[in-house]
Amino acid sequence: MSGGRGAIAVVVASAALLAGGCRRVGRAGEPVDVVYAASLTSAMERGIGPAFRASAGRGFRGVARGSTAGAHQIRDGVLQADAYVTADPGTLQGLGSSDPGWAIAFATGELALGYRKDGRFAPALDSASRGLVAWWRVLERPGFRFGRTDPALDPKGYRTLWLFRLAARRYEVPGLTDRLPGGERQLFPEDQLGARVETGQLDAGVFYLSEARAQGLAVVRLPPEVNLGDPACADLYRTMTYRAPDGSEFRGGTILYAATVPVGAPDSVAGDRFLRFLLSDRGRAELAARGYEPTASLLGDTTRAPGELARLVRSRSMGGDGTGMGAACGTDSAGAP
């Protein structure tokens, strides 16, 4: 618990350094400034950031935001960033004129339920994790306090809605999303949801699997048809859409973490170097050690990507690190009923 709060404190302190009114001119040796998806806080502050410092010989300053909110704050000049890291490539549209038109995909993920190991509903959730009871029925028990993030602010929020819509199809339970306990009272900032589950204020929430494990939570892994993490189910995931309050539309797909160097970045050289580090052996090892599945592909207009970075992505892809299709959707035996 104290480690998580420490990471959040680092993020809060770093925010002042990235404020739009304090624009800096990039110089060799300056720290790289990264605005990243809040679900990556532990990986960035405890793994990727320190490893980048050791490898590149320059500092790392990170600010955690819901990916949608982070993109909008870069677009509006509230934050300056050498690199932008998102939990969904779809949020790149939120960068506006700061969108360079390309990005790299560097890791995949899946959704899971996270809960405190000694929580009052832990025995029931333990049973769900072993496939002895339907996980969604546990959430409907009287008094169960369920948490999720705001779909208008981060991808995990709208992916949670998709998870329950897909579950309604799989289990043939119409309106399952509408029956969730708590309604709008379930919504919490992404960087607070884990702490609320850890402290018992909530009984469970939807997290990325690696995120939940990094926070020391027990997990219920979900079937591939609903967890948005299996490339074999990509066509099924793509049937999901979400329209944000500002009119932006997001379409479902396999969960991908992506990164880019925004147009007008104070130090684009530092941003490019950070992205190359994410694809390096050391960077991929740090991701794998924290439960992420490293991948490598170029997204968008690939001709705009820096040449050395594009060559690195191609070399990784030729090594078999893409998100290719595996077994048919739903044939994976992992996941609760």
Residue 293 lies in a domain: yes
Burial level of 174, CB count in 10 A (0-12/13-18/19+)?
exposed
* Residue 177: pLDDT over 50: yes
CA distances from 45 to 25, 40, 181, 286 (A): 24, 8, 33, 11
Same domain (yes/no): 238, 123: yes
Q: What is the mean pLDDT of the chain?
A: 88
DSSP string covering 239-251: T-EEE-TTS-EEE
| CATH assignment at residue 225 | 3.40.190.10
188 and 208 both lie in a single domain? yes
Confidence class of residue 233 from pLDDT cuts 50, 70 and 90?
A: very high
CA 183 to CA 75: how far, in whole Å? 31
Q: Report the distance separating Cα 106 and Cα 89, nearest Å.
A: 11
Does residue 102 share a domain with residue 142? no
The vertex-306 CA angle with 304 and 307, nearest 5°, equals: 105
Same domain, residue pair 234 and 263: no
How much helix, strand and coil, in percent to the nearest 5, is found in the chain? Answer: 45, 20, 35
Does the residue 49 lie in any domain?
Answer: yes
pLDDT at 293 > cutoff 90? yes
Residue 331 confidence class, pLDDT cut points 50, 70, 90: low
Confidence of residue 2 (pLDDT cuts 50, 70, 90): very low
Domain boundary among 211, 243, 275: 243
Domain co-membership, 177 together with 77: no
Are residues 226 and 178 located together in one domain of the fold?
A: yes
Let me know if residue 26 belongs to a domain.
yes
Residue ranges in the chain assigned as alpha helix (H): 2-17, 41-43, 49-56, 67-75, 122-129, 135-139, 155-170, 190-198, 209-214, 224-227, 234-237, 268-279, 281-289, 307-318
Does the pLDDT of residue 23 top 80, yes or no? Answer: no
Confidence of residue 330 (pLDDT cuts 50, 70, 90): confident
Same-domain check for residues 179 and 144 = yes
**Band (110; pLDDT cuts 50, 70, 90):** very high
DSSP letters along 17-41, please? HTBGGG-----TTPPEEEEEEGGGH
Looking at the structure, do residues 93 and 124 belong to the same domain, yes or no? no
Q: Of 186, 218, 243, which marks where a domain is finished?
A: 243
Task: Report which of 268, 267, 279, 269 is spatially closest to residue 311, judged by C-alpha positions.
Answer: 279
Summarize pLDDT for 111-150 with one digit per residue, the tens.
999 999 999 999 999 999 999 999 999 999 999 999 999 9
In a domain, 329, yes or no: no
Q: How many domains does the chain have?
A: 2
Domain span at residue 148 reads: 111-243
Q: Among residues 280, 276, 281, which one has the least CA distance to residue 305?
A: 276
